[in-house]
């Protein structure tokens, strides 16, 4: 009772603060500042039609590298804990509907994910949503059978190679144009075609491969191999 009341008082006080701060957060009637300069020069400088992908990969590429590192740390920690303390679920035999769906659906889902990554600079897309769509296809395959997925252990290899590719693409920019993750040294092309946008499609493919194999590795760790339920 004391806990509930104290929580309510804290939340009401924060609500009063929010009600006075949030009206200041609204956009005035025009784009201003950094958003204005990204919107006015984004397509010409980077060559991509999707302004959000241009901001993520080209203008703020270093923040995206930091996000990839954070994801790597979190997923490695989860897999490490689940390997040291095997509390995974012992798989049971799936029902007929699930088994049949897992034979039919993962291929179109993966095709959609690859389309999503490849069109990251032309239409709504990007490396991160495309990678998670491919990871959900892997999840469907895993749920449709009761065996242990990825017996050869190739998923961590793909993940490491993709992360290394991201770093090497950045250093390629250092070697040719003197700036880490420089976007324009490959030429920007005409915006709207699939070969355009400098380094953006290559980095999106690297991010998509890394995110897909990362989340697939996490789901694989949820399935136990040693029998403790």
Partner 1 sequence: MSTAFYWSIAGTAAGLVLVGLWGVLTRKNILRIALAFTVADTGANLLLVWSGYLPGRTAPIIDGSIPASDITSSVVDPLPQAMVLTSIVIGVAVAALFVVVGVLASRRTGSADVRRMKELRW
Partner 2 sequence: MTVIALTLGGMMVAAGIAVLFVKDLLSAIIITGFVSLSASVMFLLMDAPDVAITEASIGAVLATMIFLWGRGKIGGDG
Binding site for partner 1 (CB under 8 A): 3-4, 6-8, 10-11, 14-15, 18-19, 22, 25-27, 29-31, 34-36, 38-40, 42-43, 49-52, 54-56, 60, 63-64, 67, 70-71, 74-75, 77-78, 81-82, 85, 87, 123-124, 126, 128, 132, 191-192, 211, 218
Which of 203, 177, 166, 189 shows the shortest CA–CA distance to 48? 189
Least Å distance, CB 78 to partner 1, is 5
Least Å distance, CB 178 to partner 2, is 31
Binding site for partner 2 (CB under 8 A): 50, 52-53, 87, 89, 116, 124-126, 128-129, 132-133, 135-136, 139, 215, 219, 222
Least Å distance, CB 62 to partner 1, is 12
Least Å distance, CB 124 to partner 2, is 4
Nearer to partner 2, 87 or 161 (CB): 87
Nearer to partner 1, 71 or 206 (CB): 71
Least Å distance, CB 111 to partner 1, is 22
DSSP 120-182: TTTSS--HHHHHHHHHHHHHHHHHT-SSPS-TT--HHHHHHHHHHHHHHHHHHHHHHHSSTT-
Distance CA 35, CA 212 (A): 30
Distance CA 204, CA 117 (A): 6
Distance CA 64, CA 70 (A): 10
| Residue 183: contacted member of partner 2, partner 1, none (CB under 5 to 8 Å, by partner type) | none
Angle, helices 127-143 vs 96-104, to 10°: value is: 140
Distance CA 141, CA 120 (A): 26
| Residue 29: contacted member of partner 1, partner 2, none (CB under 5 to 8 Å, by partner type) | partner 1
| Residue 92: contacted member of partner 1, partner 2, none (CB under 5 to 8 Å, by partner type) | none
| Residue 62: contacted member of partner 2, partner 1, none (CB under 5 to 8 Å, by partner type) | none
Distance CA 174, CA 97 (A): 53
The tokens of 148 are what? 């242990």
Nearer to partner 2, 104 or 177 (CB): 104
Question: Which residue bears the tokens 């490959």?
Answer: 186
Least Å distance, CB 4 to partner 2, is 11
Is residue 126 within 8 Å of 56, Cβ to Cβ? yes
């Amino acid at each position: 009772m004391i806990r509930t009341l104290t929580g309510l008082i804290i939340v009401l006080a924060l609500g009063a603060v929010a009600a006075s701060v949030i009206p200041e957060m609204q956009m005035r009637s025009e784009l201003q500042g950094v958003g204005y300069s990204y919107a006015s020069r984004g397509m010409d400088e980077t060559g991509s039609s999707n302004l959000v992908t241009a901001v993520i990969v080209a203008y703020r590429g270093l923040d995206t590298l930091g996000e990839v590192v954070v994801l790597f740390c979190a997923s490695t920690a989860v897999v490490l804990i689940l390997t040291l303390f095997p509390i995974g679920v012992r798989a049971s035999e799936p029902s007929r509907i699930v088994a049949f769906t897992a034979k039919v659906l993962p291929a179109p889902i993966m095709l959609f994910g690859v389309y999503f990554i490849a069109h990251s600079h032309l239409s709504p897309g990007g490396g991160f949503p495309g990678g998670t769509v491919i990871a959900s296809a892997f999840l469907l395959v895993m749920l449709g059978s009761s065996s242990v997925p990825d017996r050869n252990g190739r998923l961590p290899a793909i993940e490491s190679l993709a992360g290394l590719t991201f770093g090497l693409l950045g250093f390629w920019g250092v070697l040719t144009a003197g700036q880490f993750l420089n976007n324009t040294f490959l030429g920007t092309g005409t915006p709207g075609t699939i070969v355009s946008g400098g380094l953006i499609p290559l980095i999106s493919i690297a991010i998509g491969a890394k995110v897909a194999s990362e989340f697939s590795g996490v789901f694989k760790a949820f399935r136990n191999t040693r029998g403790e339920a």
